[in-house]
Structure formats: structure tokens, C-alpha cells
Structure 1
Amino acid sequence: MARPPEMDDDLRWGDLLAAAQRGDAGAYRAFLAEIVPFARAVARRKGCAETLVEDVVQDSLLTIHRVRHTYEPGCRVKPWLATIVQRRAIDARRRQGRVARHEVSDPDAYETFADPEANRTEAAGSATAVQRMMTHLTPVQREAIELMKLNEMTLAEAAAESGQSVASLKVNVHRALKRLRRAFGPEGLS
């Protein structure tokens, strides 16, 4: 009694993959080339859109390459392959769903340059508010905030500029922020 062609594929692929595990590069290339149609069919059966099928196949081939050592020679290959492709198809469909939910179709949303005059009033008000807040700090706290937060210096740069140690700067910044939060609340510091 003759074996079904699917069994022949499974046996041949098992032999090729076992040879690849032993280091036969030619067998590995043949194995990968032969499984591509099977991977495409599995991806389509799992409900992947045609636009995703090739991505799923490529992702599956990469996964197979990464986990090929987990195949146990003598076992059937098709169930092992099908599981990998099914998981990659599920991942692709989930990814596609997440992307689709976050897509923006408003052409104005792509505007990247604001009018230079748009925030001038708010910026002036913010600068005044920051100056007013800074009056609530001690001189060393004010210097630490100015150097580290307003001038965006690193700890080392601020320490060299102010003559304070790194530890002192950290303490002064922490105390200054704590004092400002108490005075103005977390919303006032945003």
C-alpha cells in the first residue's frame, strides 16, 4: 500500500531537517525551499489576508531558523511547522489589529510645523510663572534647579559649574522639587 504524498513530504522534510541539524547546509536550503508553499497554505488557513501571508511566511522562516534545534529527528515535521506558522499568523493578525486601531486618517494630523506666533503668549506666561516659583527656593536649590532642569546640564557639568558636589546637587534638586510641589501642587509643575 502506497503512502499518501503528505507522508512522503513529512518524511523527506524530517530527513532534510535532521541533516541540517548535523550541519548540512545544502539540506537546510532544500528544506526551507520545500516548506514555503506549506507555510503559505497554513497562513492562509489561519485567516491571514493576502497582504500578510508573505510576512507571516518570512517571520515563520526566521523562527524556524532560530528554533530548528528543537526538532527531534524521527518525529513528524508538519505538525511542528504548522504550529510555528500558526503562531506567527496569530501574531501578525494581532499586530495588524493594533496598527489599524491607531491609524490616523485626518490629513491635518500630519501637520508638523506650528505657527511661530501660536504659543508666544503662553510661553511668556510660563516664563513669568517659573520666575515666581523660583522665589520660593533657597539660593542653592534655585541654582541646582536652574543648572539641572532649566539649563539641562548633567550632574557632572552642574557640579563643576556650581562648585557643589554631585550628592549635594541631587539633594538640592530633590528638596527644591518637593518644596515646589508643596507650594504649587503637582498640577502647577506640569
Structure 2
Amino acid sequence: MDSDGQVVEWAVIGSGDSGIGPLLVAATGAGLVCVAFHAGPEVRERTLARLGARLGAEVVEAPGSARLAEPVRQFAAYFAGELRDFALPLDWSLSSGFNRQVLRELAAGVPYGTVVGYGDLAGRVGQPGAAQAVGAAMGSNPLPVVVPCHRVVESDGGLGGFGGGLETKRALLALEGVLPQPLF
């Protein structure tokens, strides 16, 4: 839990020219705890209620807070094509067990501009038959983009699923040079 009265600070930020829409970012005293795509009113309401309930914390909008300044700066740099590796403290409170293990491996072992298969990622965490469980871990990722679940694809080259939608996954992979930029 957060050491300063269990407060989660959050803000909605733009996503530059990436075309993926606004992101909700939230942080505790321990670090970035949540990133949510398509942060319109319904998504904000649902995400903030979940954060408060799961963390037992007060959730406060704080767009100019010191706690969010570095995440906001790094997201802007990433979407501008100027940042390849996020260097942020992460609060893993919303993930545990196998899911946390897989997400930590993903964050540490799948660099910008590369992809990994669900089965390959399962093998990296010592569970080579757990490709479906890896898919579930990706679906539960509370820190997308920073913990790059968009870089996990099917072994046959298919994109697989994505909580932010396949167009968002395509846009992120195009930003990183894995896919060609979409024609609009």
C-alpha cells in the first residue's frame, strides 16, 4: 500500500500523434500503477472505481502532480518517437503470481521494436505449455505500453488480442517500426 495515506493520483494525457487516443495514468507513492486506453468518461469511471477498491486507496485527480510528471514526460517522448525504454518506478500491486512473473519478464526481456510469441514468453518463465495463460496475463496487464503487451503476438504471425483494441496494437507496433505505418 501507499505510504502517504494510500492516495492514488491520476490524470488523463494525450497520446501525441500516435492515434490511440487519451490515456489515463495513475501512480501511487511506489510508482506508476495503472495505464488505461481510450480514457473517455466511462473508462475513467470504471478504472478509478477499480483502483480505489483494489488498492483500498483514495483516488485523486492530479494532472500537475510531481508524482505524475515523469510518467507524463516519458509517454510524450515515447509517442514522439524519442524514447525506447521507459525508466519509471512501477507499483505491481494490481498484479500477482504467474501474471506478475510473465509481465515482469515481458518488461525486462522484450525490447522496443521486437515481438515475442505467447508460447515463447511462456517458455521464458519456465511454463512452456502455458501460452493461453500468458494471453490471460496480457489481458490483465495494468501497465500497458510501459509493460509492452502490444509486443506479444501469435506464433503464426497473427497479432493476437489486445485490451486496447487491435487498431491500438497495430498503431503501437507501427510506432516501434515492427509494422508499417497505417495508411490514412
Task: Report TM bin, short chain.
Answer: under 0.3
Greater CA radius of gyration, 1 or 2?
Answer: 1
TM-score (norm 2): 0.24
User: Which structure features the higher share of strand residues?
Assistant: 2
TM-score (norm 1): 0.24
